[in-house]
Every structure is written in C-alpha cells, then in structure tokens.
A and B are shown apart, each in its own frame.
Chain A
Amino acid sequence: MANKAPATGAAQIKSLERLCRAVGVSGGEGEVRQIILDEIRSSVDEVKVDALGNILATKKGRGAKPLRVMLDAHMDEVGFMLVADDGEGLYRFKIIGGIDPRNLAGKQVVVGREHRPGVIGAKPIHLTTADERRKAVAEEVLRIDLGPESKIKVGERGTFAPNFQRVDPSLMSKSLDNRLGVSILIELLRANYPNIDLCAAFTVQEEIGLRGARVAAQFFQPDLAIVMDATPANDLPMQFEGDNVFYNTRLGLGPAIYVSNSSTLDDPRLVHFMQQVAQKAGIPFQIRQPGGGGTDAGGIQRAGAGVPVVSVSVPHRYTHSAMSVARIADWKNTLALLHGAIRQITPALLK
C-alpha cells in the first residue's frame, strides 16, 4: 500500500469547517465526537469511546515490536454552562475554560444540541457612567438572552456562535483551538504508518485541566506521545515603546515546536527529531517560546511510568475568543511536519 501524504485541499478545509461549526464545550463534546467518529471509522483498526468520552483509536504497525506512538488532539473547546433561569428567556451562566470575560458582552452565542441562538447583551451605553465604562464587565452581571419563549434548561452548555470563514491566507473562526489539531489528527489517520503502533486519542476536558489526555495515556501506555494543538500567536505590534519579545509564536512561520511550558518539559530527543525532520523536508517551523500555558502533553507525560512527549501546535491569534485567526499555510505545514516525522519514527529514536 502506498503511503500517500495526507491531502490539504478544499475537502479537508470543508471538514475543518464542519468541526469548527460544531459545539463541544468541555464535558459536552458529543457533537464533535460524532463528527470525528464518522470521519475516522473506516481508516482505523479499532475505535472506542472511553469512560470520560475520549475517542481512542488504534492502527497496528507491522514487524516484531513497533513503538507504540500516541497521537493526541483535544476536541473540547471553551464556552459556558447555563446555571440559573431568571425567566423571560434570560439565563445566568458560568464560563468553562479560560475565556477573558472582556470577550463576552455583545456577542452572539448558541446553546444546547440544537444550537439555539442567543445573545449576551450589555447595558446600553446611555445608562452607564464614564467610570463604569472604564471597568471590565464582570461575568456575573451578564446574561444570556434566548428570547422570551425559550424552553432551554439550566445545565445546557453553549459557546460563541459558529462563524467560520476562509479569508486567504487565513481561517477565522471560534474554536480553532483545537479543531485545527483535531483535523490534523483525522488526516493523519487516513495515512498508513507501518513503522509504529498508532494510538490516536481525541480527548475531552483539556480546557479544564488536561483530564482526558491523562486517562487516555494510562489506557494506551505508549512509548512516546505527540500532541497536536493550537497555540497563541501574540505577534501584534507594540502600542508603546519597546519590542514585542513575548510573541509566543508568530503567524505564518510554520508549526510551533514546544520545548518547555508550565506543565511539561518536552523530550529533547523528540524536539531535536522534529526540527531535523522539518529542516530536511524544507518545512518552515518555529520554536514556541518557553513559558506558561500547556497542552495535553502535561497530562500524558506523567501518566503511568511516564511518557516522552512533544507538542507541535498551529499558531493562532486571539485564542479563547469569539473569533480566532490562523494561517492556512501553518495548518498545512503542521500536518506535513507531523506526517514526515511519524513515518520516520524508529525505536532508535528513544535510544
């Protein structure tokens, strides 16, 4: 069987759009899970949904004792849960995951499996004081308005209204974190890697503590793991004197290889290997600036007897907001880098 490189054409972007338009807030990933299951079922040997809702799929390698390689992408996104019904279609809510509340007022949202449309309104400016307008709006004073005849019940989850658009050379959407990674893992599963036992995990609850990845790793007990995620690009111009030396990553410079973050030191062998693969193949890449933040790698590294990990992420601006921006080329190059790397993995890598 020819080991063809994964495609990154219109069909793949269409699939990514479908993923971005789905709603899968941490703990309620069902809609995304269903899309992924439909997409991967025919290309894996086994697939199951575990106790937390992770999708765990395997593709066996050939040979005596291939390395067990875990590929991980979290499928959940940030959002909110309705926590109290104030009547008249107005609901209180609590944020799920790390949304800066300054991104909430004046936004369109959807709630529940049926994507019921709603809005997060704001006090009319005419009724505010200048002092008030200098303070951030607190989550507590905001309400989700679903219209006076809403039948939605407390406990439902929701998030920013789907808004995917392609504006070359970019993609703009909610939940690019981490549907970018999910779509890459789906495409990787369409290829064949006889050199490894491929263990794919589409995980839940990353945004609330890397919880799905931890149990997935404990289930697979892999020899090494590669995490694909979306990472912030804080590469905007300074609005006062000084240089931007804390960009984390920059749009358009290719996949971001992790070295260190608050939850993980990425395995130096894997970090080196990724760079080598990229250089040889002429794929642009960047090192994600060491610093805070993290990925599922933090949950995987310390699972069981420990797992060597590395994260490779697609840069995107304005993470955890109503609309993020990523470059199509970065997404394609991340997929190309991971494909190139995975096919070259041999047990020697960990020697």
Chain B
Amino acid sequence: MTDILPFLKSLISAPGLSAYEGPVARVIEEKWKPLVDEVSTSRLGSLHGLKKGSGKPPRPSIMIATHMDAIGLMVTKVVDGLIHLDEIGGIDVRILPGTPVIVHGIRDLPGVIVLPPLKTLPEEARDGAIGLRHLLVDTGLLPSKAESLVRVGDLVSFNTAPTELSGGVLSGHSLDNRASVAALTICLEELQTRSHLWDVWAVATAQEEETLGGAATSAFHLEPDLGIAVDVTFAKGPGADGWEAFPLGKGPTLGWGANLHPYLYKKFKQLADKLEIPVAMEVTPAHSGTDAYSIQIARAGIPTMVIGIPLRYMHTPVEVVALKDLQRAGRLLAEFIGGLEIDFVSKISWEAEDGQ
C-alpha cells in the first residue's frame, strides 16, 4: 500500500473552489493518468477517469463520485483596500476571523480575515457573531495597491497549511472532500493488481458545495449502471456527539436512506464484514447531503450508494481526518468493484429493504 499522505497534502494545497476546480483537477489528472485508460473533462469541469473492465463489451459501468470542489469566499467589494466577502458553499462565519487566506486577484495575495473594530459596525451588528457582510480581508498592502490588484468576483481561498497531528491524523482545509478523492485514488491503485469485469468511471466532481451540479451532469453524460458517492461525514468530536457523528479513525460509514439503494447497502456491509473492515451504518432520513442525491435521479434513475469518511470540524479551515479511514474506504471500494459480476444489476432487488 502506498503512502497517500503526500498526495493528500498536495490535493489540499491546490485551489479549487466550486466552479473553479481547474487547479486541483490538474493535480488529480496527473495522479490518475497512469492509473486509468482515459481521462477527460466534463463541460462543467468534472474530471472523468475511465478504467476499462475485462468483461465483454458492452460492459456495465460503475461511477465513483468524489467531489473535488472546496468551499471558500468571493470578493464582493473593496473599500479602502479592505475586502468584503461572500461565501462559496456553506460557511459558519464564526470560524472566519483570524483565518489566513489567499486572495486570487490579478496575482495571488496572502491575507487574513479580520474582525473589524466593533465601533466601526452598526450598533446592532456588534454583539454575538459578526456577520459575513462585516468581516474583512486585510492583505497588508496599501489601499491603492490592494484596489488595483483585487476586483469584485475574485476568489478567496483558505490558506491554512496541512498539519499532521498526533496519531495518524491530518488537519487542513478542503479535506472535505479531497480526503475522498484520495480514497478513490487508493481504490484505483488497488485495481492495478485486482481484475474487474466492469468499467470504472472515477469521477472528481465539480460544484458539489453549491448545486451538486457536477455529479448530476456527469451521471447524465456517463450513464453508469451504478453510482457511488464518497464523501466526508461527521466525526465525533466537539460539537458533534449525536447520532449524526461517527468515531474518528474507526472506519468508514455506509449510507442508509432514501437516496441509497438498500441492496447496495447490504452488499457493502457483507463485504466489509468479510474483509474485517470496520464500518458503521450512517442513517440519512431524507437528503443524504452528497452527490448521491443528484446521481440517483439522473436519466431514468441509478442505484446509488454513499460511503462516508468521518471528518471533524467540517467546513472549517482546520478539518481533521484519520488516514486509516481513507485506506479502508479505498480498499472496500476496490474489493467491491473487483467482485462485481457482469449481471450484478439484474440481481439488484428490493428484498433487502428491511434486511439490514
């Protein structure tokens, strides 16, 4: 098994906010090229890697979707060289003050998101959390210089360096969902020596954080027979101790709910048990909150599954993930794909509905 850490660090060091995934897509493309037969890019910017199966054509295909876009910010106006912001994806503004960022202006500028002096704010805005409309980025430049380099609509991305904490965990921004891209890469590496009958579409999707648009359109375009989304889920930790959260480093989760096909759940669960890979059932009563939501309803409908990787502090610049969980998810995917028989789809049944 190769060490995934350097690749994951390079992934989270590459910009790639929703709709602007180009830089991270190039990092992924370079990594995947030797692992797949063909690489292409969708009209919305999703990266499609095709690893052909050994079955007789026409072969069925499986699409593994891991979104590569990251949350971030966008410049809404510049006043006295200080930058006002809008969010891309969902951000709790309370994590922003003090966050180092890169302002992607005419050239990249380092900066920091700051709490302005409270007296400069309307009285009703001074208590509690300071709203996004009042937070600013200071680039350290003179106002005239900042105003000449930064325009409305320029992107602002987090700039916290990837940092290893104790116990085999990595912290950084954009681990949602680059951690899953790394898990899918592990899967592709395992498939180099593991035969599979099905075609495999490894897809790094665009715009998940905004519209789930990359997965919806790639699923339409590729018309897979099965769809699997790999995405991060909540790890137990500060602020997350309810039923939605799973222990960090204790294995991936298998999704259960309306967006997911119960037969696929059953097959994954049986496989995980056989391989002695620890997994937890992740219940999603309605919306799974992942690309699976849109893949399922592409074309005439696609049986869909979600694999979750527990992550602490989701949508902050200091997300935390356990490398072990990536390895497990990648291996589970590869084993599932390797075990797919040509007529798997015809065996999918609804009998598993109550047969967890």
Is B300 in the interface zone, CB < 8 Å from A? no
> Within the complex, what minimum Cβ distance (angstroms) separates A145 from chain B?
6
The answer to whether A147 and B165 touch (CB under 8 A), given A105-B94, A120-B318, A126-B315, is: yes
Contact B165 A126 (CB under 8 A): no
Partner of B237, one of A117, A145, A151, A239: A145
- Would you list which residues of chain B between 101 and 116 have a CB under 8 Å from chain A? 109-110, 112, 114-116
The answer to whether A147 and B167 touch (CB under 8 A), given A106-B313, A136-B128, A172-B112, is: yes
Interchain CA distance A117-B95 in the complex, whole Å: 18
Is B61 in the interface zone, CB < 8 Å from A? no
Interchain CA distance A136-B110 in the complex, whole Å: 26
> Within the complex, what minimum Cβ distance (angstroms) separates B107 from chain A?
12
Q: Which residue of A lies closest to B171 (CB)?
A: A119
Partner of B82, one of A90, A120, A236: A236
- Binary A-proximity of B157-187 (CB < 8 A = 1, otherwise 0): 0001101111111010000000000000000
B130: chain A residues at CB < 8 Å are: 102
B97: chain A residues at CB < 8 Å are: 102-103, 321-322
Contact B166 A121 (CB under 8 A): no
Contact A323 B112 (CB under 8 A): yes
Interface of A is mostly: loop
Partner of B129, one of A121, A127, A136, A234: A136
Contact A102 B129 (CB under 8 A): yes
A145: chain B residues at CB < 8 Å are: 165, 171, 237-238, 312-313, 320
Q: Which residue of A lies closest to B114 (CB)?
A: A318
Partner of A106, one of B164, B248, B316: B316
B142: chain A residues at CB < 8 Å are: 169, 252
Is A63 in the interface zone, CB < 8 Å from B? no
Contact A237 B129 (CB under 8 A): no
> Within the complex, what minimum Cβ distance (angstroms) separates B162 from chain A?
10
- Which one of A119, A126, A169 has the greatest number of beta carbons of chain B within 10 Å? A119
The answer to whether A167 and B94 touch (CB under 8 A), given A124-B314, A145-B238, A234-B117, is: no
Is A276 in the interface zone, CB < 8 Å from B? no
Interchain CA distance A232-B120 in the complex, whole Å: 14
Interchain CA distance A170-B146 in the complex, whole Å: 13
B275: chain A residues at CB < 8 Å are: none
- Which one of A108, A146, A325 has the greatest number of beta carbons of chain B within 10 Å? A108
Q: Which residue of A lies closest to B96 (CB)?
A: A106
Partner of A125, one of B119, B160, B314, B320: B314
Contact B129 A134 (CB under 8 A): yes
Interchain CA distance A171-B112 in the complex, whole Å: 12
The answer to whether A321 and B98 touch (CB under 8 A), given A106-B313, A148-B166, A170-B140, is: yes
> Within the complex, what minimum Cβ distance (angstroms) separates A173 from chain B?
10
The interface size of chain A toward B, counting residues with CB under 8 Å, comes to 64
B128: chain A residues at CB < 8 Å are: 134-136
B100: chain A residues at CB < 8 Å are: 163, 322-323
Contact B121 A323 (CB under 8 A): no
Contact A100 B238 (CB under 8 A): no
Is A246 in the interface zone, CB < 8 Å from B? yes
> Within the complex, what minimum Cβ distance (angstroms) separates B289 from chain A?
7
Is A68 in the interface zone, CB < 8 Å from B? no
Q: Which residue of B lies closest to A137 (CB)?
A: B94
Is B79 in the interface zone, CB < 8 Å from A? yes
A106: chain B residues at CB < 8 Å are: 94-96, 98-99, 313, 316-318
- Binary A-proximity of B125-163 (CB < 8 A = 1, otherwise 0): 101111000101011111000000000000000001101
A151: chain B residues at CB < 8 Å are: 166
- Would you list which residues of chain A between 216 and 257 have a CB under 8 Å from chain B? 232, 234, 236-240, 244, 246, 252
- Binary B-proximity of A99-126 (CB < 8 A = 1, otherwise 0): 0101111111000000011111111111
Interchain CA distance A170-B145 in the complex, whole Å: 12
- Would you list which residues of chain A between 147 and 168 have a CB under 8 Å from chain B? 147-151, 160-161, 163, 165, 167
Partner of A123, one of B167, B240, B318: B240
From B21-29, B41-49, B85-93, B189-197, the one touching the partner chain is: B85-93
Is B80 in the interface zone, CB < 8 Å from A? yes
- Would you list which residues of chain B between 200 and 235 have a CB under 8 Å from chain A? 234
Is A89 in the interface zone, CB < 8 Å from B? yes
> Within the complex, what minimum Cβ distance (angstroms) separates B100 from chain A?
6
Is B249 in the interface zone, CB < 8 Å from A? yes
Contact A133 B93 (CB under 8 A): yes
A213: chain B residues at CB < 8 Å are: none
Q: Which residue of B lies closest to A106 (CB)?
A: B95
The answer to whether A121 and B239 touch (CB under 8 A), given A102-B130, A108-B163, A239-B122, is: yes
> Within the complex, what minimum Cβ distance (angstroms) separates B115 from chain A?
6
Contact A100 B115 (CB under 8 A): yes
Binding site for A on B (CB under 8 A): 79-80, 82, 90-100, 109-110, 112, 114-117, 119-122, 125, 127-130, 134, 136, 138-142, 160-161, 163-169, 171, 234, 237-240, 242, 244, 248-249, 289, 312-318, 320, 322
Query: Shortest 7 CB-CB distances between A and B: which pairs?
Result: A123-B239, A147-B165, A106-B95, A322-B98, A170-B140, A147-B166, A121-B313
Binding site for B on A (CB under 8 A): 88-90, 100, 102-108, 116-128, 133-137, 141-143, 145-151, 160-161, 163, 165, 167, 169-172, 232, 234, 236-240, 244, 246, 252, 317-318, 321-323, 325
18 A-B pairs (CB sep. < 8 Å): A100-B115, A105-B94, A106-B317, A107-B99, A119-B320, A121-B318, A122-B313, A122-B316, A124-B313, A136-B128, A145-B165, A147-B167, A148-B249, A150-B165, A165-B110, A236-B136, A252-B142, A321-B98
